[in-house]
Structure 1
């Protein structure tokens, strides 16, 4: 199928690429672009994207820009029910194939309904007024999401757990149980794997800032070949990490990066410098988790053809500063050069502003 590049937006191109590979329900497709078009639900966003794609593709068919209609079949099947009438128009004698969503297995709405019902029962029976919602992902869903975000470079993605928490929270608020985002006493948690709900006394969380001064020491040992990690060493010292802005273990972090843990004194971890800041509100924690910062990397390259603005270090070694969303973008920008090392030196955006606010509090 030929690309109609002159008429396709970046969102349409990415959506088309995703739907060629994976069947996605409206909500899960919409969540791939959750940080765009504020005010829409992910379901609305995903359905709108599919309709936009169908309009563009149907125009391409009628303008003879798509030569083989059979090229559309897999794409249409992966779009789901919204595309069924369109499929029957061009393939009237064939059966439409219903395919389960690659991420949620077409269960996201039933998961929301189940979580709402069970958490409402707990809130009523136990008389809980001050609470927040939590979702524990199954290993399979977490693996699917992590691989999808990395492999498809989904910089606007939102995890399924955030959508479920947000939508169920709205429903419970309408029933007289609004979540307390700032100072909750309980967390009502839904286990996605077992569909069970349990409550936990809320642990006060603390915002810290860290630098990674050595390469090869990951933040987490999940899906890592390295034996040690920051999370393992913190747990050995009685501290638990709840959230950290991640970066590949071969990249030093020379700027102050946010790290959310339980409350406690400063700890020393080899390869890292960790400094405690202050207690963090649930609202600010949600902001930090949802933000994707724009990063600035310092890259040491070996080059025979240096570009303007590169800083010579020694002989044919140069420092190059690159603004990017990820190390993968850095490597793409410098694909013709021999990259020796990459360091994160700064980040900007709303995450940086929240971090600056907490750091200023410490200096007051």
Structure 2
């Protein structure tokens, strides 16, 4: 029976009501007190009629020990402390915890929060022992009730899905610490110059420590798209660290043009979240090497979408051929590569850091333009993940077919630009979205 638990554990009204939280639309205190009073009335009625047995008296004493002294019977039973809540909802304790949390939060600019309640192991074991089908954990109730009070004090909103900060509390030990969730900012970047990497590239020799080879910078390349974009954002947010997430990447010697490549920058443990993105956009674009477009706030789930969604690309390549190239050669190249499946093993130049796999990609359309006898321009619309330099050179037969194999003339890529990343849409040969 539901009341038998009181014989073993003198649960207070709140905790007894929590055992049946999903049955009656009332607070746990109201529910627990009502259930106890109902049973007291029943027992007192039986006693007055002389129908009470030993079990009734045992239950009567258990209810009185739990603090519900509503009977007219002349019984002096000392109230015992509740072994489940142990007074964590007492006003003085709640006030101490509120002040402690507010003091920790005062150095952060944020909009939403969530309470993360932590229970000692013996409380978890007790809950497991007395668990009912309709029970609510004390963890849920404390988080809900404390969250309401903190929201009023801070004039902030609780958010179960994407809180800016999680306030972790063990109400039994009064330990509190903060989990400051990352701030995500998305946009598109254009890399206007060659010679800078997308992300920070550590020196292969010292792995970032600094040595003679890297001129003690710890980096293989002096600058990156990541650093240029991150610097003003880190200054504005006072974040602890950052991570750059791009929808693919281009080589160091490749420009990213058109309307740019989608990216998300993740700012870890930001102290300030409400920042002027337009102002930051203008600050980044002063650099001249990298431009950002359409900065806006993002969510964690957007990172997964950027990483896992394949995007078709449109490229411009300047090709150099060791032999003369005719207009007929170029027309043949356009015909041969239209809607062509390309089998491509991992290029030799990246084998030291990538697995040796065969990739199947597709070229949808190619347009060519002759520059001189030994040079021509290609506009290539293809699947993402296709290595364009190797599509041109053939990479000693590791890419089939290739520009070199189709023309039967050794060719190399002299310049390469990304003209369009076709995210969420298809595209045409000119880099425009259809």
TM class by smaller structure: 0.3 to 0.5
User: TM-score, normalised on structure 1?
Assistant: 0.45
Answer with 1 or 2: which has the greater Rg: 2
TM-score, normalised via structure 2 length? 0.38
